A and B are shown apart, each in its own frame.
Chain A
Amino acid sequence: MSLELINVSKGFGEGKNRSEVLQNINLKIEEGEFVAIVGFTGSGKTTMVKMMAGLLAPDAGQVLFNGRPVLGPSKERGIVFQNYSLLPWFSVLQNVMLAVNEVYPDWSKSQRMEHAKKYIEMVNLTPAINKRPSELSGGMRQRVSLARTLSMNPELLLMDEPLSALDAITRGTLQEEIINIWGATNKTTALIITNDVDEGILLADRIIPLNPGPKATLGPSFSINIERPRDKKALNDNEDFIKTRNEIIEYLMDMSNEMSLGKSEKYLLPEISPVMPGLSFRSTMSKVA
């Protein structure tokens, strides 16, 4: 058992402004499993991944990692943020070294340097090793972020919509890189948050939809039984792929329709009678007269 969420709920704000984002989230991720969570924007995916990383604490329920409750961030759970979160005043190497220095303080400087360079090579960024993030494209920045997280050798790799800010072609290349690296690193337990069902199917062993919020819950789990290594182009003709994909999309559309139907009943317009300034003025005047 690697990561477990038991009846986790989370909301923000107080009193009238309170909004419940997630409710009764139950999730188990086995060791070595690659899970994808797909959902609409604003349904609380980032909140969920932040709780897994330990950056947020749940209001109710428990987040367990290897059987122990998660109380704060830890180096064994690496996270790749959606917006890269690189430090702009550091070069690519320095950004990765910041993580390596923290995780392997006992190593010699040259050992750490080599380790960092190994991961930069893994994401094909060796030519840009001394560049600053501002000199890199979005895809390259996300690669640095990936290298930084992987260099920590985390037991659990959390990815919060790592590719959603990228263009389609870069996205495709990076998907392949992620899956190759994941295979090369002895299949670390991984969780990716995404809004792209195809991406989820390409990468993961299991896809779990997150129903639209507020009070979002997890949907049923869809297993992907397509053999690895998966080829993105070949996948388009794979019957399993088409079937699973349609099932998931149908499920998501149904959930979304249900939500919007529920919503339209809630918003009743208040009864408003228009006030005509001219008229009311005249009527008051006539009363005075």
Chain B
Amino acid sequence: MTTTAAPQAPPDRGIRYFARQQTPWSWLALGVGIIALLVLIIGAGAILTAHGWTQVCPEGVDRLICSPTDPLAEGLTSNELAVLCIAVIVIGAAAAGLALWRRRSVPNKQAREAAVAGGVIGIQAAVLAGVLLWFRSSNVETFARNFLDVRLLGDFFPRFVNGAKNTLILSFLGGALGMFLGLILALFTMSKRAVIRAPARIYINFFRGTPLIWQLSFAGLGVVTALRLGFFSGIDGPYRVAIAVLGLNLAAYSAEVYRAGIQSLERGQIEAARSLGLSYLQAMRFVVVPQAIRRVIPPLTNEFVILIKDTSLVTVLGLAFFQKELLGAGKDIYSSTANATAFLGSAAGYLIITLPMIRLVTYLERRLRSGLTSVVG
């Protein structure tokens, strides 16, 4: 509780300290490496921008004569870019050489780290420049036309937004259904009665053991086409089937997550609750589940990210034009324009949705870990 020694501030190991430990040689290696990378990024950006990334073609001009990506192809094939790449390779190699040569003769760890970092950055810049040089020697014009047509992304922007909307609807409705069913399934798998455990296990093994694309196809064929169940027929039929199957599939996976979370609690928690006279269900509801939920939020979010990407599989159900999710929208645009840049739009859409969630998982996991230490200590 009480400490006699006065609290001592930890030694300053910040960026200023790091800078003070450097020698001229370590500064040089670090500087040259960074310069190589900056020259590549700024130089290539400037050259491509000077030529232009895209252009507006006059109405009615043949696409073989004028393509929106012609300026970009011109920039990529220009001699300036080739010279720039070679220069970057030379500078990067120089940084690497400096680091290799000087890394043992620096006076301290901080200086060595800086020199090595400079060398590594230099190598990275040189490799990138080499790849660019190699790419430049290929059929750049065709590639740019079919894959790098940013104008197309702008033209079809509303379609991508609609696709993202549908991806989110499918994910959130399917996710809510799956996480609710999953909790019930998890409680079933932990029952002491085999007649309750067995069906839950069969369900989970079936949905984990067959591909989601098979589940979607089968449900689409069986429910929509053959059974014609009221709720799952009509124009919204396939869309509702998609949500239901995504939910049923996630339930199997989330059940395992919940089960692991609940079983990670000490047996003593439930024993303490039972010894106070709480029934099994009360102990679950007031003691076990509230604690387990906290532990399963990061892995459940993970399952949710997987679900977001898996919504792309609903294309097998043959959704209507306005029901298309991100990949479906990209495919549609690809078939009407014969331009694969559409797929880049889909990828960008997925990343915009999933990256924040992946960050959230990392954050929650770190917070949970620090929380646990205080519980134990």
Whether chains A and B associate is no
Residues of chain B whose beta carbon lies under 8 Å from any beta carbon of chain A: none
Residues of chain A whose beta carbon lies under 8 Å from any beta carbon of chain B: none
